[in-house]
Structure 1
Amino acid sequence: MIPKFNSYKEKWNVLSDDVIKPGLTAIEEALSRVGNPEKKLRVVHLAGTNGKGSTLTFLESIAKEHGLRVGKFMSPCILDVHDQIQVEGRAITEAEMNRVFQQMQAAGLSGKLTDFELLTVATFLHFVASNVDIALIEAGMGGLLDSTNVVTPIVSIIPSIALEHTNFLGDTIESIARHKAGIIKPDRPVIIGELPLEAKNIVYQEAKKIHSSVFELNHQFYVEQRNDGESYVHNDNGFRITKLTRTMKGAHQANNMALAITAFFEVAATFRIQVSKEAIQKAVKNATILGRFEEILPYIFLDGAHNPASAEKLIETIKHEFPEEQISFVIGILADKAVKEILLQFEQVSDYFYFVDFSNSRAMAAQKMLELSNASHKAVLEDYVQFLQRQSESKSRTIVSGSLYLLTEVRSRLKSV
């Protein structure tokens, strides 16, 4: 369920299913009924297991510093449905959402779509009405059959590929890679991060079939670590920019930054914009994203590591930022995730775990998570708000992780006390 989305559905009597139905037939029909707004947009499309949101955030910041009006569509929400659709960093308002729902009602879309498909249509309508220059679109799940895959992008980006959503995407890296590679379009370049060899082979095969150029991290472009910050280098055009300093922590964010800079060359060429090194330096420093090693209270961090690959990146960041410090984890995870594997990752850096229940029908019970944990110091927390406040006051470094839905709930509750 998408928080606050049902209130608009009820108000405008527009029905949609709270289920996942991969496929493009329904949304293509729906979009034709509202004038095909997706064809009026210039788009960058992102798919991948991890890194989509961070890469999108870097690219948004770079585009804005170059004077472009940016719309972005991200999943899942941070607080509620409004923050998934943003223009110039501002969430869609209630009045704006009412306007697009009125359009969708008038077009007879009730009962024809899933929730995410309906939200995708709403996004395209809002971006056209807002006259955005560039729309940054994050795929919801997979890519090939995801409702966002109705666009013809300037460039596609695939930051990473790992096992996820195996009940829909298949249980092999190759199968999942085929879904992610489905966002690549004929004669439009794709930019990829560090992918497993079997995934990379699939991406290159699919790109070759449709004459799409592939720009690969650490081949056509890379990042160097320097004493005065990081340096980005693009081998194909000889571009180099030094003294890049990121607010977004973690070595993996250097890769996401590099993907975004590389993608912006394609955007800049489309708009005939001169790429500014000073604008990129400023943009990289200003780029931040909620739920990515976010310090919500002193010593209390939120990080949305919700699969083994993102958990591994979080562990790398913890080791780099807080070497030798005692870390406590507050954990809530969806039951359809690789819970045991995620916990094993976290247990590399901590033996103190506190498990919580949170408001999501797919959440694994805190007691069940506790039983799966190998930690010697573990408990179920009834009131995590008071616990986190005490941890902050006692300067006890604590990471809240496991599910973005948990992070949304924690952020909301902490800000209300």
Structure 2
Amino acid sequence: MENHPTTLADWLALLETMHPKAIDMGLDRVRQVKEAMAIEFACPVIIVGGTNGKGSTCAMLESILLRAGYRVGLYTSPHILHFNERMRINGQSATDAELIAVFNKLDVIRADVSLSYFEFTTLAAMQLFADAKLDAVIFEVGLGGRLDAVNVLDADVSIVTSVDIDHTEYLGDTREKIGFEKAGIFRAGKTAICGDPMPPQSLIDHAEKIGADLWLFNRDFNYSGDKLQWNFSGRSGRRNSLAYPALRGANQLLNASGVLAALDALRLRLPVGAQEVRTGLALVDLPGRFQVLPGQPTVILDVAHNPHAAATLSQNLGNMGFHPYTYAVFGSMQDKDIAGVIEHLKGQVDHWCVTDLPLPRAASAEEIREKLIAAYGESPAAGDTERSIQTFATPAEAFANAMSRAGENDRITVFGSFLTVAGVMEFRHSEHH
């Protein structure tokens, strides 16, 4: 391309139109461009896949390694408010100028190879991190594993956090099929960690077949804990009296255990002390993962968008203590198991504010309303103060309505998609300025 875009917004708009398919499974094109880029990492490469818990796992790894004084690159997706969140160096999002420069560089190298938005930006992250001379790089898988663009890298340590049903049109409709796709990030002779307490046999078989060094929860590592602190044990010993991760919720010790197993495997190349682990866990920050905002009514933001994540959200809400009424701001993509998500949360929510989302593949608020009525067996009567279902055009309008009705001791939980959470975060941001 002769004239490159000069702003990040223009670049991203171009990337969305460059390739005929939004999701194009297969690694040949990405591999070809990566070879032309001649990217090599001298530092450990950690790849994190899984259905839920990827973002938390990446955030904890980054936080601990930064406390230990290492230079760390972290690539995650999707972003919540700004694209720059996807590429972080030493805990800071890449600047527009850095992203434009690496996009320009990559565009010249790729010559005439067509890349999707995700493929292009993933390769750009690899280039950005390779140029930055880091001590560790962490890449979060976008979708699945085996055919995800991130998988053109060879990981020193691969982590699969959990295996559950999501993205069935690409990954299959059983845990066994999905487990095989996730296990695609494992490498021969390298550490392969699975944090799922019930790993699919397909994942175990694949790891054995390729000769990966598989670490399984409860066999190679586990945790124990009481109300005040927790302990981790791995192959090379224990870490005791650990602080709970700052990320709240039921699965965070499972995720944190996978993180400590990875650090255990890398201990000779990236030694990390006890205090750095404690501080890293205590200070980890990740927007939109059971994020409880200060103030009244209580507002909880959670990007839960499949039944497995919804079950965790329901458990976390149940552990919070008494609130007279719970309002839900809920929007979802059409391809999700919306009925399955509702099933886990219908007992926790009194008033539903369901919303359209600004993407063609979103479910309409009206479709969600019909699924709610089916789940409860009836439509709430007009004027019912105990239960209601209302539809809105945007997450901001749904949230404003919930705020206007909720008492100060009530709570509002916003969930169902990154876009639902982003819409509310943007709205709150504009309210405060």
Give me the TM-score of the superposition, normalised by structure 2: 0.89
User: What are the residue-to-residue correspondences of 1:164-183 with 2, within 5 Å?
Assistant: 164-183=166-185
Alignment of 1:15-414 (within 5 A): 15-17=18-20, 19-35=22-38, 37=39, 39=41, 42-109=44-111, 112-197=114-199, 199=200, 201-234=201-234, 236-271=235-270, 273=271, 275-296=272-293, 298=295, 299-323=298-322, 325-373=324-372, 374-375=375-376, 376=380, 377-382=388-393, 383-390=397-404, 394-414=408-428
Mapped to 2, the partners of 1:188 and 1:139 lie a distance apart of 18
Deviates more, 1:402-411 or 1:308-317: 402-411
- Residue 385 of structure 2 is matched in structure 1 by none
Letter in structure 2 aligned against 1:291: G
Structure 2 residue runs without a partner (length 5+): 1-6, 381-387
User: Residue 66 of structure 1 contacts residue 276 of structure 1 at CA under 8 Å; is this kept in 2?
Assistant: yes
Aligned mates of 2:422, 2:137 — CA distance in 1: 24
Deviates more, 1:280-289 or 1:378-387: 378-387
Question: Could you report, residue by residue, the CA deviation over 1:74-110 in whole angstroms, capped at 9, with x for unpaired residues?
Answer: 1111113211111112111111011111112222445
Against the structure 1 CA distance between its residues 237 and 249, is the aligned structure 2 distance closer, same or farther, given a 3 Å change threshold? same
Q: Distance in 2 between matches of 1:193 and 1:81?
A: 29
Q: Deviation per CA, 1:25-66: give whole Å up to 9, x if none.
A: 01011112222x255553100111001110111111111111
The letter of the residue matching 2:285 is T
Q: CA deviation at 1:378?
A: 1.1
**Alpha-carbon displacement from aligned partner over 1:350-386 (angstroms, at most 9, x marks no partner):** 2321101221221111111011103542111352242
Taking a change above 3 Å as real, the CA distance of residues 363 and 276 of structure 1, as seen in their structure-2 partners, is: same
User: Which of 381-390 and 95-104 deviates more?
Assistant: 381-390
Task: Please report the TM-score for the alignment, with normalisation by the length of structure 1.
Answer: 0.92
Q: How far, CA to CA, are the matches of 2:332 and 2:321 in structure 1? A: 24
Q: Is the 8 A contact 1:160 1:194 kept in 2?
A: yes
| Deviation per residue, 1:273-315 (Å, 9 max, x gap) | 2x31111111111012110011245211110110000001111
RMSD over aligned Cα atoms:
2.2
- My pick for the range that moved more, 305-314 or 378-387, is 378-387
Q: Helix, strand or coil: the match of 1:63?
A: helix
Which ranges in structure 1 are unaligned for 5 or more consecutive residues? none
Question: Which amino acid is 1:7 matched to?
Answer: D
Which shows bigger deviation, 316-325 or 334-343? 316-325
The answer on whether the counterparts of 1:62 and 1:264 sit within 8 Å (CA) in structure 2 is no
Contact in 1 for aligned 2:44/2:137 (Cα 8 Å):
yes
83-92 vs 140-149, which moves further: 83-92
User: Displacement of 1:209 after TM fit?
Assistant: 1.5
Q: Is the 8 A contact 2:193 2:215 kept in 1?
A: yes
SS in 1 for 2:152: coil
AA aligned opposite 1:404: F
Distance change (3 Å), C-alpha of 1:248 and 1:368: same
Residue-pair matches, total: 408
Structure 1 residues 314, 368: closer, same or farther in 2, change over 3 A? Answer: same
- Local SS of the residue matching 1:354: strand
Deviations 1:146-172 (A, max 9, x none): 110011112110110011111111122
SS at match of 2:62: helix
Q: What secondary structure sits across from 2:130 in the alignment? A: helix
1:306–1:333 Cα contact (<8 Å) kept: yes
Identity %: 25
Kindly provide the amino acid, as one letter, of the partner of residue 222 in structure 2. Y
- Report the AA paired with residue 87 of structure 2: I
Change (3 A) 1:392 1:95: farther
The alpha carbon displacement at 1:133 in A equals 1.4
**Between 114-123 and 210-219, the greater mean CA deviation after superposition:** 210-219
Rounded to whole Å, the distance in 2 between the matches of 1:53 and 1:159 is 10
